[in-house]
Amino acid sequence: MQQELPFEVPCIVNGNEVKTGKIAKQPIPHDHARHLCTYHEADEATVASAIEGALAAKAEWESMPWNDRAAIFLKAADLASGKYRYKLLAATVLGQGKNAWQAEIDAAAEFSDFLRFGVKFVDELYSQQPSKNAPGVWNRVEYRALEGFVLAVSPFNFTAIGGNLPGVPALVGNVVVWKPSPAATYSNYIVHQIFAEAGVPPGVIQFTPGPPAEVVAQAIGNSNFAALHFTGSTFVFKKLWKDIAANLDIYKGYPRIVGETGGKNFHIVHKSAEVRNAVVQAVRAAYEYQGQKCSALSRLYVSTSVWNGGFKEQLLSEVAKIKVGSPLDFTNFMGPVIGRPAYDRILGYIQKARDSGGEILIGGTGDDSKGYFIQPTVILSKDPKSVTLREEIFGPVLTVFLYEDEDYEKTLDLIDTTTDYALTGAMSVHDDLCEVHTKMAFALASPPNARHS
């Protein structure tokens, strides 16, 4: 793939390539002087044509028998896990900075799983029919597509999500205008090619890369806008929710809003924990894919006796072994962060931690001379409400807070009240209270008002 760089990516509207001439680039994050592709940004006319074409394709697509739609997406799964597997992986490694393992579990395995499980669960849903009928009456439920089009806005960090956000609405008969992340343009373009080859008709999924604010604003400003399918930042999602609410009077219906945003994920290590296991799991959770997952570990609560009994030394020893560099070198566990804004933001948080009294135990530095590389960082904070324990960083930064052994229950409460974010949580505990503690952890992972939708 490197020998063919850079690729040219058009918009795809009604099955046709649209080259607007408004060119943007997708840089290679481990070698930012080069770029993976140039792509034509969708302009106002292109987005308008995409919406019009999707609506024109709607009647035929939603009336297609379910078995035929299912067959298309099962074929797409076969293409993703077979014919296009290595092309998808290469695009994800080069364009999104994943090592080969992370690319495999994302672009090939998870994407094809999404498609196959989607078919399975929709089939189960459609099979749920009324069990009772009156004499001379046959009751049956028909699941209709939404009135209008779905806008899918996908993130940079998972090629699989790039396929899932437009794929699921289309699977149940909707038509979709898809705005991929600029930092995942090429891998997402391959995903669109897979959908087309599998048999998704022209116009059903319109591929419209471009400036996010402009493309999204035009789509949600259309009276036929029916739903948002989104993964990204909390700030952007909340803004879109407000913008959609402000437009309610123009819509023909009441748009659905489905979104997944950030996380501030915890790991609490009990005094009874098996230290080696807890250390290894913490390192993997915090630093796989440079911490650029909404489910990544970013706050670690460790019992003082465990910390002083070998946990600290093992943790820092394991972090020190992590190799950072180009994902093309398979000995590197970590690669680059996605781009300049992420690089500056992450280092900015590390500086905020320094300024507020946090102790940098390891890492804390970056090198952007060739790629956007940040060393895996561990911060020890004495302040349980410090900024790096509260706010999402989306990078290879783990903040540790120590608690006294007898304050375990209090620390669970602290975890619950420290941040507005939630999503995942883990506990390392090995005693008779394991079951009740685990139940508490799951409850803490998703408090009712958390910023993860």
Catalytic site positions: 260, 294
CB 337 within 8 A of CB 343: yes
Half-sphere exposure of 328 (CA within 13 A, CB side): 11
Q: Give the distance, in angstroms, between the CA of residue 305 and the centroid of all CA atoms in the same chain.
A: 36
Torsion angle, alpha carbons of 385, 390, 394, 400, to 10 = 30
Taking residue 446's Cβ as centre, other Cβ atoms within 10 Å add up to: 13
Token pair listed for 105:
């579990």
Helix axes 212-220, 234-246, angle to 10 degrees: 30
DSSP string, 306-323: HIIIIIHHHHHHHHHH--
Structure token pair of residue 192: 């669109």
Place of tokens 């974010």: 421
Strand ranges in 304-380 using DSSP code E only, listed in sequence order:
359-362, 366-367, 373-374, 377-380
CA distance 110 to 128: 27
- According to DSSP, the residues that pair with 152 across neighbouring strands are 178, 229
Report DSSP letters for 261-301, one per residue.
Answer: ----EEEEE-TT--HHHHHHHHHHHHHGGGG-STT-EEEEE
Q: How far apart are CA 77 and CA 400, in angstroms?
A: 41
**Tokens at 434, concatenated:** 């394991």
Torsion sign over Cα 196, 200, 204, 205: negative
Own/partner pairs, 405-409, CB within 8 angstroms, 24+ separation: 405/271, 405/303, 405/304, 405/305, 408/268, 408/270, 408/271, 408/303
Taking the C-alpha atoms of residue 418 and residue 386, their distance in angstroms, rounded to an integer, is: 9
Structure-block tokens of residue 73: 């997406």
Distance (Å) of CA 244 to CA 119, 127, 155, 381: 30, 33, 20, 40
